[in-house]
């Protein structure tokens, strides 16, 4: 059985002191709840400014550090960007790639996402590849095709070993930060669609090993709806990850899926 991953995306929130306090709260809460790292993996993705401070707060704990983005080049005259080498140096284990806010607010293309994913793998960072459709695309019946294209463009040409390092998060754009969310059944169907695309590219063994998360207005009150789905292996949590108690409660639910 795939070990669930609960990843918190803190987006553009928190001062250094607030980020440190939240990270410490998550570590303390998981320990108090006796959440087994074997039952669920937990990661937090602070803004770049807080990565070093949060890394220190997580030291000695099983909570993984992740970043929210990276650039596809390793160094150079790219003002405002940050490289995979720099993230690895800070102790990051994960990096979010292709979040819908990067795609649709910043204008990242599928090809740019692919280059960033390759950069993450080059520096042994675990990419959390985000895919998902806009509401207009869903209404036109194009949700499946859009997500399949995003997955195919990002992953095609990778080696089998590289593909095994990728986590995929299905995040319907219309559900992010809106309070709306896909039903558990639809999240499961889309996760299955993504797994089938991975199977087409890399075979059944890889497809059954790759973790697929759900994201989009996930909170303690609804996360259980997704965790019971056989194709969903955890969640990428936005706003609800900014409160330690609630985020820990979601991790506890995910651990329960594993019996931990």
Catalytic residue set: 99, 171
Name the strand (E) or helix (H) holding 51.
helix 51-58
The greatest distance separating any two alpha carbons of the chain, rounded to the nearest whole angstrom, comes to: 49
Strand ranges inside 68-156, DSSP E? 94-97, 126-131
CA distance 178 to 188: 20
Q: Is the dihedral of CA 3, 239, 146, 185 positive or negative?
A: positive
Candidates 121, 62, 61, 132; CA nearest to 94 is: 121
Burial of 105 (0-12, 13-18, 19+ CB in 10 A): exposed
């Amino acid at each position: 059985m795939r070990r669930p991953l609960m990843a918190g995306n803190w987006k553009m929130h928190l001062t250094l002191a607030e980020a440190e306090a939240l990270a410490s709260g998550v570590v303390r809460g998981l320990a108090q709840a006796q959440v087994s790292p074997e039952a669920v993996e937990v990661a937090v993705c602070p803004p770049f400014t807080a990565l070093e401070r949060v890394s220190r707060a997580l030291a000695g704990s099983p909570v993984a550090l992740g970043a929210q983005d990276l650039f596809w080049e390793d160094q150079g005259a790219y003002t405002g960007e940050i490289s995979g080498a720099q993230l690895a140096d800070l102790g990051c284990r994960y990096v979010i790639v292709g979040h819908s806010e990067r795609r649709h607010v910043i204008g990242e293309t599928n090809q740019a996402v692919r280059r960033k994913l390759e950069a993450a793998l080059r520096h042994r960072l675990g990419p959390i590849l985000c895919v998902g459709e806009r509401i207009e695309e869903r209404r036109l019946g194009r949700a499946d095709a859009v997500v399949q294209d995003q997955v195919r463009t990002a992953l095609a040409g990778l080696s089998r070993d590289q593909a095994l390092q990728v986590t995929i998060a299905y995040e319907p754009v219309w559900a992010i930060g809106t309070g709306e969310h896909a039903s558990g059944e639809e999240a499961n169907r889309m996760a299955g669609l993504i797994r089938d695309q991975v199977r087409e590219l890399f075979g059944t063994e890889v497809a059954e090993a790759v973790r697929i998360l759900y994201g989009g207005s996930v909170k303690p009150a609804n996360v259980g709806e997704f965790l019971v789905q056989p194709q969903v292996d955890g969640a990428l949590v936005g706003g609800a990850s900014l409160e330690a108690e609630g985020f820990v409660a979601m991790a506890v639910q995910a651990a329960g899926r594993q019996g931990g």
